[in-house]
Amino acid sequence: QVQLVESGGGVVQPGGSLRLSCAASGFTFRNYNMHWVRQSPGKGLEWVAFIRYDGSDKYYAESVKGRFTISRDNSKNTLFLQMNSLRAEETAVYYCAKDSRWHFDLWGRGTLVTVSS
């Protein structure tokens, strides 16, 4: 079954760190570029980061540049998002998404990150 399953969300204090994971199955993970997208409660979608299929290129939204790091382990079919110096306004559901022809063609169900003291 083709799917993406995020994990690693939870409650973290402002300024803290968290590492999200996204397990892929049902497709050849190493062949596809991947993204992280987030959605704050009651708000719209925000693109966060992109990584090329082989990890050779990584791009970030300006809002997270220098604090978030996207990575992948193709041997384990897993995508990661390391988030440092978290802010209250980054409370959101974080989705991983598979890239295909410049769009997001498969989404996970998301994992909730709450940044609060």
Partner 1 sequence: QTVVTQEPSFSVSPGGTVTLTCGLSSGSVSTTHYPSWYQQTPGQAPRTLIYTTNTRSSGVPDRFSGSILGNKAALTIAGAQADDESDYYCVLYMGSGTWVFGGGTKLTVL
**Residue located via tokens 């998301």:** 110
Nearest distance from C-beta of residue 101 to partner 1, angstroms: 6
Nearer to partner 1, 62 or 75 (CB): 62
Nearest distance from C-beta of residue 10 to partner 1, angstroms: 19
Q: How far apart are the first and last CA of the chain?
A: 39
Nearer to partner 1, 12 or 97 (CB): 97
Contact predicate 41/47, CB 8 Å: no
Nearer to partner 1, 27 or 104 (CB): 104
Binding site for partner 1 (CB under 8 A): 35, 37, 44-47, 50, 57-59, 61-62, 95, 100-105, 107-110
Nearest distance from C-beta of residue 26 to partner 1, angstroms: 14
Nearer to partner 1, 4 or 83 (CB): 4
Check the CA dihedral 106-10-83-69 and report its sign. Answer: negative
| Distances, alpha carbon 24 to alpha carbons 43, 90, 96, in Å | 26, 24, 10
Nearest distance from C-beta of residue 93 to partner 1, angstroms: 9
Contact predicate 20/81, CB 8 Å: yes
